Amino acid sequence: MDKFKQVLNQSKNILILTGAGVSAESDIPTFRGSGGFWRKYRSQSLATPEAFKKSPSLVWEFYHYRRELVLTKKPNKAHLAIAEFEKRCQNENREVTIITQNIDGLHSEAGSKNVIELHGSLFKTRCTVCNDIQINKDSPICSALKNKGAPDVDNINYEEIPIHDLPKCKKLNCGGLLRPHIVWFGENLHTDVLIETEKVLQNCDVCLVVGTSSVVYPAASFALRLAKRGVPVAEFNIEITPNTSNFQ
């Protein structure tokens, strides 16, 4: 720990890579594992372009449920500690960048300013017609989704919401159907995010891996790349992960 503190105090460009473990104490469900179901659907099966094309109504209900749930949650001590560390480093002319795999927005809610959201955000939308991206914390996101998305609704009696009643682009002369600005299974990370991430990886001189098992790519490769380059990597997880022995 003394060696880690020494390295950290001497660093100028600090990368903090975070995952679901950071938000665990905020009671944010991950929808993974054997219990990862919403209604009769495994959550991963709804997080695809194909699912949205087949039933934008169903996918929007799922994400509306998640949005409304996260709006009731608060940043925990992990988010707050990271935000405070970032602020302190800024006052010392040092830079902290948080690269998160989470989509809950709690790092920003805690006060972190320099956050790269690898997989997008529950509180951003993207137009399927003009590709305009906007922050959106409306609750409900549209009137048709009010009180919709409960996970215990009887699937047999499910009624599709007409597309014209789902969230629409507010850009002048557009009105296209909005989708959650989230990287779904089968999609690539957005180019601008990858470029920004690569800059951080090239410049950082220490990396903290916090609350992530580092097994989901491409994020899984980040700390390993840095470790191989000789950049100190410190892992903060409750349990040993597949990559623990590769860090120093």
Q: How far apart (Å, rounded) are the C-alpha atoms in residues 63 and 179?
A: 10
CA distance 75 to 125: 22
Catalytic member of 64, 107, 119, 181: 119
- CA dist., res. 128 & res. 169, Å (int): 9
Q: How many CB atoms lie within 10 A of CB 86?
A: 23
Q: Is 119 among the catalytic positions? A: yes
Instruction: Collapse the DSSP code of 12 into the 3-class scheme (helix H, G, I; strand E, B; otherwise coil) and give the result.
Output: coil
Residue 57 CB contacts under 8 Å (≥ 6 apart), including other chains: 160, 161, 162, 163, 166
Would you give the end-to-end CA distance of the chain in angstroms?
12
Tell me which residues are annotated as active site.
119
